[in-house]
A and B are shown apart, each in its own frame.
Chain A
Amino acid sequence: MQDSLSPATPAVNENFVLRLYIAGQTPKCMRAFANLKRICEQYLADRYQIEMIDLLTDPALARHDQILAVPTLVRRIPVPVRKIIGDLSNTQRVLAGLDVSIGTA
């Protein structure tokens, strides 16, 4: 896998595979998605992938993926897996959580 080659900080052009766990289309979840989309476009343009999982339709995944809070954003790639909970309204903290260095924008 690519992680064996990657340093701790993701390489500049590394792809991000993100998963956003929501539970129904609540305002909070929609806000999180909008925020995520905006942040990715701005800082990870062309190298991100967002998968949205609605726990109401896939309840078993909550246990399987250890999801507690909603919304939860999971960075699946690059590894290690990281979790960010909340509506992602604070861009700086989202970037810190995803470990994206702003200088590359």
Chain B
Amino acid sequence: MQHSETVAPRPRAIRKAATGIQGLDEITDGGLPYGRPTLVCGGAGSGKTLLAASFLVNGAEKFDEPGVLMTFEENGDEIASDVASLGFDLPALVDAGKLCIDYVRIERSEIEETGEYDLEGLFVRLEHAVRAVGAKRVVLDTIESLFSGLGNSNILRAELRRLFRWLKDKGLTAVITAERGEGTLTRQGLEEYVSDAVILLDHRVTEQVSTRRLRVVKYRGSHHGTNEYPFLIDRLGLSVLPVTSLGLEHPASVERISSGVRQLDEMLDGKGFFRGSTVLLSGTAGTGKTSLAASFAAAACRRGERVLYFLFEESPHQLIRNMRSIGIDLQPWVDGGLLHFKADRPSRAGLEHHLASMYQHVRDFQPSVTVVDAVTNLLSVGTQHDVRAMLMRVIDYLKMSGVTGLFSSLTPGKNESEETEAGISSLMDTWIVMGIDEIERERHRAIRILKSRGMAHSNRVHEFAITSRGLRITDDGRR
């Protein structure tokens, strides 16, 4: 340990205003700079207004910081209905005196300009609104509209500079949204005036799959994540997914849990998997991966644990029917609320969406076991590199939450090629390979454990049978 006198005095961390937006407060180390303006820029439909509205609503509801929404593009009703889908009730906040919405309407055709003017009217309105609710937060959405409404951009620039100064002097935490420009962050170069923090939003559609990303371009005086972070807008609001900064600090449990197949537990040092570990189940088509995964899920439910099961290739009904034919009945666990299926076509959305959705389901359902069947389906919406990066985040998240994760992976072709798995297997604690051997014109299912960290596992190939009464592994001594 270092002595305190050898440590340079740490500069006082700047105060933050939490946005209450999941993930954003993590990557900004606490939120936006308190009492200062932050610029949020992005193209049309990138989510600027929703981010700004979330900042205000959360401020009013969770942090006792009332707010003012000054909108230049949409009137109060339009904004209220836009954000209603996120579960925000703006009219209720207005009635409760926690929010003031002022729609600034500028119609160039209705205004004649002659001689000098300033925007004191805007200042008066803002100050009046701030006083009315005792606002601590202000959103200006999108103030650049002034440039299309008023002709004298020299006056506008000087007045905006004065406005941002004014916001700072009043100690208001402000979010100023702006349209992305060609080769510049904002169309009107507002980044010159707002220099405390700049957040960039991006919405791309590639191969009909939409992806939203957020990046903190600048944050004066604060540590912040510099990556592009995927973010999601859904009925639960906005959430940003922090990437792997979690690192390798998750706790490691010594508790063991059954794989659901007694003989497989025996192969795993006689005790099964470590709780909170990750298991990769790979093999070619028809080798029994899903059966084993279902068996593992059923075992967890029998212990009274909650299981979240992501399905990417079949419907829950089909899976339940198929598993019933081999003596595994999942329906009672579904009915009892212990087993929750989340079935989704991989191609329906981008990787970020799947990642975000997995985060949310894990967060909401609080499972002790999560199954992803099959992780290779995600390769249809992303490159191997991207899928690996995404999995790493899922795994980090599961490990931080102490959730045991089982991932099935389809090996293409007939033989077990380790190419696909190579990328992801290093993330896994246990790797089980399933295959089919042809011996004397008979097909035999085989199972072996390629690795299992922290335990003395079997190194032999075992025969694996799927029977109407469940799964069976025989130690027939084949190598």
Q: What residues make up the interface of A, taking CB atoms closer than 8 Å to B?
A: 21, 23-24, 28, 31-32, 35, 55-56, 59-60, 62-63, 66-72, 81-90, 93-94, 96-97
Contact = CB atoms under 8 A, between A and B. Distances in A.
A97 B124 contact: no
Nearest to B128: A59
Contacts of A71: 117
Interface in B261-313: none
A59 B117 contact: no
B114 A70 contact: no
B114 A69 contact: no
A87 B124 contact: no
Contact of B112 (A31, A66, A84, A89): A84
Interface stretch (B86-94, B100-108, B200-208): B100-108
A67 B117 CA distance: 12
A89 B120 contact: no
B122 interface: yes
A62 B128 CA distance: 9
Contacts of A85: 111-114, 117, 150
Interface in B2-23: none
Contact of A23 (B104, B110, B120): B120
B220 interface: no
Contact of A62 (B106, B113, B125): B125
Contacts of B112: 82-85, 93-94, 96-97
19 contacts: A23-B123, A32-B115, A35-B115, A55-B120, A67-B121, A69-B119, A70-B119, A70-B120, A72-B121, A81-B110, A84-B111, A84-B114, A85-B150, A86-B115, A87-B115, A87-B117, A88-B115, A93-B112, A94-B114
B49 to A, nearest CB: 20
A56 B111 CA distance: 22
Contact of B124 (A23, A28, A82): A23
Nearest to A85: B117
Contact of B116 (A21, A72, A87): A87
A96 B150 CA distance: 17
Contacts of A35: 115
Contact of A83 (B104, B110, B115, B128): B110
A32 B122 CA distance: 19
A89 B117 contact: no
Contacts of A23: 120-121, 123-124
B118 interface: yes
B73 interface: no
Contacts, number: 97
B25 interface: no
A55 B124 contact: yes
Interface in B118-139: 118-125, 127-129
B114 A87 contact: yes
B341 to A, nearest CB: 52
Given A68-B121, A90-B115, A96-B112, A60 B106 contact: no
A31 B129 CA distance: 29
B441 to A, nearest CB: 86
Contacts of B106: 68
A90 B114 contact: yes
Given A68-B106, A84-B113, 6 more contacts: A59-B127, A66-B104, A69-B122, A70-B119, A70-B120, A82-B112
B68 to A, nearest CB: 11
Contacts of A70: 117-121
A64 to B, nearest CB: 10
Nearest to B146: A68
B114 A93 contact: yes
B331 to A, nearest CB: 60
Most chain-B CB neighbours within 10 Å: which of A55, A69, A88?
Answer: A69
A24 B123 CA distance: 13
Contacts of A55: 120-121, 124
Contact of A88 (B114, B119, B122): B114
Query: Which of the listed residues A66, A67, A97 has the most CB atoms from chain B within 10 Å of its own CB?
Result: A66
Contact of A86 (B104, B114, B122): B114
Contacts of A56: 124
Nearest to B149: A68
B110 A69 contact: no
A32 B120 CA distance: 15
Contacts of A24: 120
A69 B115 contact: no
Contacts of A84: 111-114
The listed residue with most B CB atoms (<10 A of its CB), out of A59, A71, A81, A87, is A59
Interface in B126-173: 127-129, 146, 150
